[in-house]
Structure 1
Amino acid sequence: MPCNFGCSCQIRRARCHSPLQGSSLQFLALSFLTLFSGCLAVQRGQQFQQGMGQCSLTNLNPLEPMRRLEYEGGYSEFWDSNNEQLRCAGVAVTRHVIGSRGLLLPSFNNAPTMVFVIQGNGILGVMDPGCPETYQSVGQIQGQQSEQGQQRFRDQHQKIHQLYRGDVIALPTGVAHWCHNEGNQDLVLVVVHHTANLENQLDENLRRFFIAGNPQQQQRQGTYQGQQQPGQQRHQGVNIFQAFDAQILAQAFQVDQETVRKLQNENDNRGSIIRVRDEFRIVSPRREQQFQEQQQGGGYYMNEKANGFEETICSLRFRENLANPERADIYTANGGSIAALNSLNLPILRVLRLSAGRGLLRPAAMVAPHWNINAHSISYIARGNARVQIVGNSNRPVFDGEVREGQLLIVPQNFAHFKQAGNQGCEWFTVKTNDQARTSPLVGKTSVIRAMPEEVLINAYQLSREEARRIKYNRQEVTILSPQYSESQQRGVEIPMSVV
């Protein structure tokens, strides 16, 4: 049954000339359900492909935030959601800078989210619906009487997660969360929302829904770099309680309307990041875990003990620290390291259909030229700088230049590129739009060049046999290349006897 994708898919009513048996009805219903689901998936896929087909990929550039909103307890910076590169990759990006004792108010959004902790430490709360309150304070539950006849109360809430520099956090679509900076330095979070994900059933715009605060008033006071685009404020969100009838909310919560007005925060001018006035008292286990500063790059890593609920879906792990030196998947002593995160080592990414990674290069070291087989990549430069060259299927690079700390760089699927660190080295975090993203290097031990027979190289590139062997075997590293060898070192590379 064909679907008309110019409008929503229609399931045509079947006309039956004779009564259908129960099994036939079940089969027909199942067929319609399968067809309808397929129509929706194909429709969204075609819409996304049409959007990608309209993208101009002849020129790429590093991106800076275009908008900044100041709040009482910090500020947020937003990359231009109308930028062609971001729209082609199907992402929206935000950077939150939460000051000491700052609290990022609870909110949720319409797209799967990856969060990178660039600096500082804090705590994160994720309110997963239907999950139990596994953190409880000492005391009696409301309504129970103590021996003195007085009521005592204890707080109960869902699990609290410690955040450290180098953490990567995966947040599913529509799950509410908040964050508090409990350190003395700013807590810096870079947040990538995958708006093109099939989990997003709304539209291609990022839509944030706040459960507290009055962010709409702060949006009117935002500062912009360059010209503001129409509708740019529209999707930053408001407090969802404000639109509800106050009397209905009072009945739902069984509180008075004065308390409801406080929930609605209509006269609250503090913004989306507020400053905690008094001691921030939450229920949390003693921090017996040991963490230490990473010597290269100042990152943190820690070993966490089990809390006894690892097998339940409500305790599904969604955080991983990629700054732990032992977490590196690729390591070159004089070059640096890369740590990858996908649905095989962080299962929640299978739901988000995303993967992530962190790279660290020493000065002048290089990530070998390669391409992403099945994903776009969105990289945030956390520290240092690097020269990057990106090439497509034309005879000139689509980008050849420097990327610096605080910039965003998007590399489309199948576009080959390399990254070479500057004098200060380079650290970056990457989101890829596939939960099992794969790369194919052009240089090194696992490269396509290394996988070719000598005869193919000789004839394809008109090389001598010695040149072909040097191209294949001069680099023995995997992905990360040490600073360039001298010519004498290159001539002295020993060719494996098994291939001579």
Structure 2
Amino acid sequence: MASKASLLLALSLLFTACLARQRQQQQNQCQLRNIEALEPYDIIQAEAGVTEIWDANNQLFQCAGVDFIRHRIQPGGLLLPSYVNTPILAFIERGRGVHGVILPGCPETYEYSQDQQFSGQGERRGQEFQFQDRHQKVEDLNQGDLVAIPTGAAHWVHNDGDTELVVVVFFDTQNYENQLDEYHRAPGNTQAQSQQQQGRRQSQQQQQGRPRIQGRGQGRQFQNSSNIFDGFDVEYIAEAFNVDRETAEKLQGQRDQRGHIVNVQQGLQIIRPQQSRRGSSGRFDPRQERQQHQGRRGSGGWSNGFEETFCSLKLKENIENPSHADFVNPQAGKIANLNSFKFPILKHLQLSAERGELQRNAIQSPHWTINAHNLLYVTEGTLRVQIVDNEGNSVFDNELREGQVVVIPQNFAVIKKAKEQGARWVSFKTNDNAMIANLAGRVSAISSLPVDVVANSYQMSREDAQKLKFSQRETVLFNPGYRSQGRAST
């Protein structure tokens, strides 16, 4: 009995030590002395587009437990079906298309009628047979759409427009559903993952220093996009699908050199409902959205949250819908948040997103995110961003240009100011109801403190404390001309 107790005690101590060491390693990853803007460090080229990859080994990404890529799909291009070990948020930055997400166990509800059957030749039996296509639902993609994809769900994207389709993809690698490691892993991306792990080993051998800006790689041309069937015996595949060997070999794609984005020659012949498209600008049409919402609600009023089952999950929401705007200042800009209250699937994914816009020289109140890390990606214009850690040290003070990314860790304070041409961005956050606390403005930490607490905390007179509390009467988005107008009137 004594030996068993000693063994249990030893195992308990070993487990505790391992857990403490793991937590210490994670904490060390977030002890950032300097933050820098990040750009793609490599490009994977395919027949009908490219994928730009950010460095998953970067200390910022390791701290936040996230990963990020950008697909550029040419007109007619098809991003091949794949699945990953993390939840995904994908934002349609530009262009239009169609996509499908395959939810395991759900029925194929898109199908032709019995009168629209097709005939084909059954080579195995030498007999003619009939079949009708059916598949799970597909949806249109437009600029501003945010697509939520559960962990492990297979998905694909097709550009059926006449311009480039740009999709930025956010992976939450430290999500509780990821049981592997800190990388996202997808069939067909094994070479990129191998390079990421090699880079991680190299970075571990180097002294831990400040993160560096990652330069754009030269790219790799038309590499064989390995798929999950490639590792199985061809005879087993033929037997499992009840097809001949030649078809099984095509499924493995051993001689397919097109890459992970391929050309569709004559358009995809898929079953889809008739839907009106957005205008040529791709901007949101509120009248169209009202009609769609009315059609969904019917006469039953608002949803109470119980009607949505796993197979009827709403996977897409347009974050540029005016009804999602949480803060609007016509002279400064607007901010819209998509959280689990507006987009219920985000509760399961434990993620949320923000779409922000600042007019020229406008400022967003300095603030910190209470319960989430934040990955900020600039889609238009230039932002001047300052980030301060919890000890009051400046860790980032620079401009973010279009296409650049910066990671803002939890509790780090940030202030944003647009340059002359204004700026727009999208942020991905690691909490389904990410909350911010403002430092300035009408609803902020400073304005909510008693005057005497402010005066004594910052060694100022009571009169100056009152000015500090009440001079800024705007809430979150500050008009650039507000201060000059205030000075002129005094």
Range of TM-score over shorter length: 0.7 to 0.9
2:407 paired residue among 410, 423, 434: 410
Instruction: State the partner residue of 1:33.
Output: none
**Paired-residue identity, %:** 42
Equivalent in 256, 271, 281 of residue 244 of structure 2: 256
Return the match for 2:150 from 165, 172, 177.
172
Q: Which residue of 1 aligns with 2:478?
A: 481
Q: Distance in 1 between matches of 2:89 and 2:19?
A: 22
For structure 2, list consecutive stretches of 5 or more residues without a partner in the other structure: 1-7, 120-127, 204-218, 299-305
1:468 maps to what in 2?
465
**Shift of residue 421 of structure 1?**
0.5
Q: Identify which of 104, 110, 113 aligns with 1:138.
A: 113
Cross-structure match for 1:401:
398
Separation in 1 of the partners of 2:136 and 2:80? Answer: 16
TM-score normalised over the length of structure 1: 0.81
Q: Is the 8 A contact 1:142 1:151 kept in 2?
A: no
AA at the equivalent of 2:238: A
2:191, 2:462 → 1: CA distance?
A: 70
Say whether 1:104 aligns with 2:79. yes
**Which residues in structure 2 correspond to 1:13-412 (within 5 Å)?**
47=22, 50-140=25-115, 152-210=130-188, 238-288=226-276, 291-292=278-279, 298=283, 302-303=288-289, 304=292, 305-306=295-296, 311-412=308-409
On the 8 A contact 2:225/2:256 being kept in 1, the answer is no
Which 4+ runs in 1 deviate beyond 4 A? 1-7, 42-46, 140-144, 215-220, 227-233, 297-302, 307-310, 490-493
Change (3 A) 1:299 1:425: farther
C-alpha distance in structure 2 between counterparts of 1:240 and 1:5, whole Å? 39
SS at match of 1:109: coil
Distance 1:322 1:293, change over 3 A: farther
Residues 368 and 99 of structure 1: is their aligned pair in 2 closer, same or farther, counting only changes over 3 Å? Answer: same
CA-CA distance at 1:329 after TM superposition: 1.1
Amino acid at match of 2:397: D
**Equivalent position SS for 2:236:** helix
Question: Does the 8 A contact of 2:29 with 2:59 survive in 1?
Answer: no
Work out the CA distance in 1 between the residues paired with 2:64 and 2:230: 33
Cα contact 1:327–1:339 (8 A) shared by 2: yes
Equivalent AA in structure 2 for residue 78 of structure 1? I
Cα distance per residue 1:108-144 (max 9 Å; x no partner): 0111111111000111100001111111123448799
Kindly tell me the number of residue pairs found equivalent between the two proteins. 444
Q: Which amino acid aligns with 2:177?
A: E
For residue 443 of structure 1, the aligned residue among 440, 443, 449 is 440
> For 1:286-338, what per-residue CA distance to the aligned partner results, in whole angstroms no more than 9, with x for missing partners?
114x64577xx955665234399964321111211111233211111111111
The answer on whether the counterparts of 1:141 and 1:153 sit within 8 Å (CA) in structure 2 is no
1:243/1:372 CA distance change after superposition, 3 Å: same
Residues 1:307 and 1:243: Cα distance change in structure 2 (over 3 Å):
farther
Q: CA deviation at 1:476?
A: 2.0
Taking only aligned residues, the RMSD between alpha carbons, in angstroms, comes to 3.3
**Mind listing any 5+ residue stretches in structure 1 that lack a counterpart?**
10-38, 145-149, 494-500
Q: Give the whole-Å Cα distance in 2 for the aligned partners of 1:270 and 1:118.
A: 25
Please state how far the C-alpha of 1:492 moved relative to its aligned partner. Answer: 4.7
Partner Cα separation in structure 2 for residue 103 and residue 318 of structure 1: 20
Structure possessing the higher relative contact order (Cα contacts under 8 Å, 6 or more residues apart): 2
414-423 vs 340-349, greater mean Cα deviation: 340-349
